[in-house]
């Protein structure tokens, strides 16, 4: 198993390192709310001695409906992420969907994220790899819902052919068998680690029910919020190096993926449990 280091923030992930917490809001709704969530999560992580990275999307480009809320867009979104990074003094993670976003995002975000649906898009992966490596960040790649764990080798090889010095983190988020469901194979975490990269678990999106939100008659993605902590705990027990989680002050009023989102008040208790499990596994 490998370990990588983010020099500017003295942040490491992988073998022998603390559990890394990548957490925040699904999508930027407004700056004040994002700052409030980030402050709470940072305080909880500091209390528990866990490294923290703030996460938020500026655009959710793969919504079920054209009328779904997508976010403030790249210009306003990156401005907000810069403010959050400066005020909270934490690294940030956000995802990209288009090639011309790579350099702009890598200049702000320490973790440039490739969405699961786009992990095989060669031009996007290459652009993100080169921009991220040049900026000294990490590329966080969500494994596609259509890929076996060992198929991640092709993503890693492609990215490193474009930027040999690139640091990559793979992320497990379930496999789709259709019928509005995702299944997480915990054995896949170790399989991806054998490829020489740290692995995180996206426990939030792993509980999605794509196109199955009863509130909109299938016009948006549903979810099983109660399953987030189960998947997170199981994945950490299976050896995951980090967790990817989304919170909201009032999940039922979240503008995107509310059914998969945890209430902010649940964050400290869950993170404390995950830390205990991670330490037990390492011991």
- The CATH number that applies at residue 145 is 3.20.20.70
Q: Is 181 a known active-site residue?
A: no
- For residue 127, what are the domain limits? 3-282
| pLDDT of residue 276 exceeding 90 | yes
Q: Is 142 a catalytic residue?
A: no
- Domain count along the chain: 1
Q: What is the mean pLDDT of residues 35-43?
A: 98
Q: Catalytic: which of 42, 60, 143, 275?
A: 60
All residues at 6 or more sequence positions from 135 whose CB lies less than 8 Å from its CB, including other chains: 106, 107
From the candidates 26, 55, 143, 241, give the one annotated as an active-site residue.
Answer: 26
Higher pLDDT, 64 or 258: 258
* Active-site residue, selected from the candidate residues 55, 167, 257, 275: 257
pLDDT at 178 > cutoff 80: no
Report how far apart, in Å, the C-alpha atoms of 108 and of each of 112, 166, 179 are: 9, 17, 38
Torsion sign, CA atoms 256, 168, 155, 164: positive
pLDDT at 1 over 70: no
- pLDDT tens, 62-97? 766 677 788 899 999 999 999 999 999 999 999 999
Is 257 among the catalytic positions? yes
- For 27, 104, 247, the CA distances from 77, given in Å and listed in that order, are 9, 11, 18
**Of the ranges 151-155, 202-206, 225-229, 258-262, which one carries the lowest mean pLDDT score?**
258-262
pLDDT at 66: 77
């Amino acid at each position: 198993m490998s370990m990588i280091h983010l020099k500017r923030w003295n942040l490491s992930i992988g073998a022998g390192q603390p559990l890394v917490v990548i957490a925040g809001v699904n999508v930027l709704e407004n700056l004040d709310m994002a700052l409030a969530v980030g402050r709470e999560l940072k305080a909880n992580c500091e209390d528990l001695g866990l490294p923290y990275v703030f996460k938020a999307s500026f655009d959710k480009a793969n919504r079920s409906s054209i009328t779904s809320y997508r976010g403030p867009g790249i210009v306003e979104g990156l401005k907000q992420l810069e403010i959050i990074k400066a005020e909270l003094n934490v690294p940030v993670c956000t995802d990209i969907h288009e090639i011309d976003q790579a350099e702009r995002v890598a200049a702000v975000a320490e973790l440039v994220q490739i969405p699961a649906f786009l992990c095989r898009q060669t031009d996007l992966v290459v652009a993100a790899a080169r921009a991220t490596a040049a900026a000294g960040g990490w590329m966080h790649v969500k494994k596609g819902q259509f890929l076996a764990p060992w198929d991640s080798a092709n993503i890693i090889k492609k990215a490193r052919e474009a930027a040999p010095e690139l640091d990559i983190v793979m992320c497990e988020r379930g496999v789709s068998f259709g019928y509005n469901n995702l299944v997480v194979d915990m054995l896949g975490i170790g399989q991806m680690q054998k490829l020489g990269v740290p692995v995180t678990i996206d426990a939030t999106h792993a509980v999605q029910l794509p196109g199955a939100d009863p509130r909109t008659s299938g016009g948006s993605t549903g979810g099983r919020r109660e399953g987030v902590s189960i998947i997170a705990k199981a994945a950490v027990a299976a050896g995951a190096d980090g967790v990817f989680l989304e919170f909201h002050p009032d999940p039922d009023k979240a503008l995107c993926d509310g059914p998969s989102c945890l209430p902010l008040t649940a964050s400290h208790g869950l993170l404390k449990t995950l830390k205990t499990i991670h330490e037990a596994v390492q011991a």
